Structure 1
Amino acid sequence: MNAISTAYQGIVSASNRFDKAASSTVKNASDGKDILTDLVEQIDSRTAFEANISVFKAADAMLGKLLDIKT
């Protein structure tokens, strides 16, 4: 498995986690329940999303350099 596809899967996973936590936040807030865990999950998934974007960009840059070397 290459870095770009791994990063892409991480981006999708983090996005799904964020969406789930955001929905849970709204539900729990409207029910008067604690939303702290949901907020922490949103922050964690955002950080994972950003990290995977960085991996994607780095892998793309490395692939570009490799293609430049081969031509």
Structure 2
Amino acid sequence: MNPIATAQYGMLAATRRFEASAQRTAQAGSPNASIDMVSETVEQIQAKSAYSANISVIRTADQMTRDALNMIV
């Protein structure tokens, strides 16, 4: 299992969640829209947190690889 590839997919999924929520939020001004702004705000915060968590996974995997290579050399 490749943690970097998994984290990249997680970042993509978080980006898509954020974009979908942003589109729904942008439609809040239309007359027929029934957008729950609180739910959309929570969704955007969760997507941001998921994105950040996946970045941390990539950084940690990169550091672990570097440390392993330094032990070999």
What is the TM-score normalised by the length of structure 1? 0.88
Aligned-partner residue type, residue 69 of structure 1: M
State the number of aligned residues. Answer: 70
Q: Cα RMSD (Å) of the superposition?
A: 1.2
TM-fit CA distance, 1:42: 0.3
Q: Which runs of 5+ in 1 are unaligned?
A: none
Runs of 4+ displaced beyond 2 Å: 31-34
Structure number, greater radius of gyration: 2
Report the equivalent of 1:50.
52
2:16 corresponds to 1:12: no
How far apart in 2 are the matches of 1:14 and 1:6? 12
Identity of aligned residues (%): 39
1:69 alignment counterpart = 71
1:20-57 Cα deviation digits (max 9, x unpaired): 11111111x21263322111100000000011111110
* Unaligned runs of at least 5 residues, structure 2: none
